[in-house]
Amino acid sequence: VIELLTQLKPAAFVLDCLPNLGSFTEDEVKGKLISAVRAIRNKYPDIPILLTEHAGYSDGLVLNQRAEIYTNLNRWLQESVVNLKGEGVKAIYVLTKDEIGMGIEDFVDGTHPSDLGMVKYADAYSKKLREILGKSR
């Protein structure tokens, strides 16, 4: 997928893959994130890259193992960003779980966003991308 993405020339790249990486190890998740950013950055050194944290699960408030999944994924994403910035990677941003702001009513089944949840995603992306693109232009 990253190879196909690097054939495009968008205003920004958005990588929102954490919800599908819950069964992977820390090393695998970090490896995938870092590899993806490097592949994009090698072809497009100046286009902003937005990485999105896992928005959580509605049952994460009562089931520790569910909360642990998205908490670990989000920590690993943040650590990967620190690593990449330490390598000198520029124009890399994060849309955080808190910025998305999902609540218990924003899920259909505890995992997948409802229409209301998708509105929260859209609003968060719109705000963040305006912020990023305003800085890069």
Give the domain ranges of the chain.
13-136
pLDDT per residue of the chain (137 residues) written in tens, 0 to 9: 777 777 778 999 999 999 999 999 999 999 999 999 999 999 999 999 999 999 999 988 888 999 999 999 999 999 999 999 999 999 999 999 999 999 999 999 889 999 999 999 999 999 999 999 996 44
Give the count of beta carbons closer than 10 Å to the beta carbon of residue 86: 8
The residue assigned the tokens 């196909």 is 4
* Architecture, CATH, for domain 13-136: 3-Layer(aba) Sandwich (3.40)
Q: What is the pTM of this model?
A: 0.90
In terms of Cβ atoms closer than 10 Å to its own Cβ (0-12, 13-18, 19+), residue 76 is buried
- Structure-block tokens of residue 76: 């690993």
Count each helix (H run) and each strand (E run) in the chain, helices first.
5, 3
Do 92 and 52 contact (CB within 8 A), yes or no?
no
Contacts of range 29-32, beta carbons closer than 8 Å, 24 or more positions apart: 29/73, 29/76, 29/77, 29/80, 30/76, 30/79, 30/80, 30/83
